[in-house]
Amino acid sequence: MTIGLTAEPSDHAVADVWVVGSVNVDLVARVASLPRPGETVRGTSLDHGLGGKGANQAVAAARIGAAVRFVGAVGSDGSGSGLRLALAEAGVDVERLATVDGPTGTALVVVDSHGENSIVVIGGANDRVTANRFDPRRGDLVLTQGELPLAVTVAALTVARSAGATTVWNPAPADPEAFEHLALADVLIVNETELEVFGGSIEVLLERGSRAVVETLGGDGVLLAQGSDRHTIPARRVEVVDTTGAGDCFVGALAARFAAGDALDEAVAFGNVAASISVQRQGAAASMPTWAEVASVRSQ
């Protein structure tokens, strides 16, 4: 089955992917098993690096070949300049990445020996993002998540719609108050937990006004829904090292290919393979594959 939804045509040569989202320092502890409430466990290593759902998705899209512009904020502490440099080195335009007084966002990540993780996010500078310098054009793709204040995300999606850009929203972590605004998304990307927060069924989300809904199902793959059409893409069976950032890899790769003109089902299939590569590596942004790596796997 082919679901022929494509991004809106662009009135300029290259469609930009605008990511309006979070930037965090990821502090990653590795353990044999995740601690239960009240339990202390011994870790095997501690690493730090670029993270945040927005940054992860931006890096994923850039490595696939998209022209990515980032809207967000880092803090004036020692971490902010390093994260800015890491994004730039990944090929992301950081002209609209602000520096604000105070700490940079931080994520505390614990990863067990099976690659499963538990994450706590402290917003920091992400709570002070504005979209004042956000100016997408017709035919661009605007990608948002759920780690910024909801009002900022809604404002960005509204501006994008007014400009004629295609909107993709991955409302994670899910905020029940976002439900009233889901119609701002041309494409809505949720996992099973987020779907429960927003009414428990894809039909409910389609009725809100999104052109398509993509539900990620972990080891069971991805479900794409548009109108009455349903298309399931199974997950690739691989040895999992670390699932941190896998969902962001999927979203960023999908956005890159959708902006490039692929039909949505083709973009979803591409993102599915990209995520299967990322889980075989450690880290979040560091695990994102290139277009050539994904293309090589798809050709096998």
Annotated active-site residue in 112, 248, 262, 265: 248
In sequence order, the β-bridge partners of residue 71 are 20, 96
The residue type at 190: V
Q: Is 228 exposed, middle or buried (0-12, 13-18, 19+ CB in 10 A)?
A: exposed
| Cβ-proximal residues to 53 (8 Å cutoff; 6+ apart), any chain | 21, 22, 145, 146, 147, 170, 172, 248
Does 248 qualify as catalytic in the annotation?
Answer: yes
Catalytic residues: 248
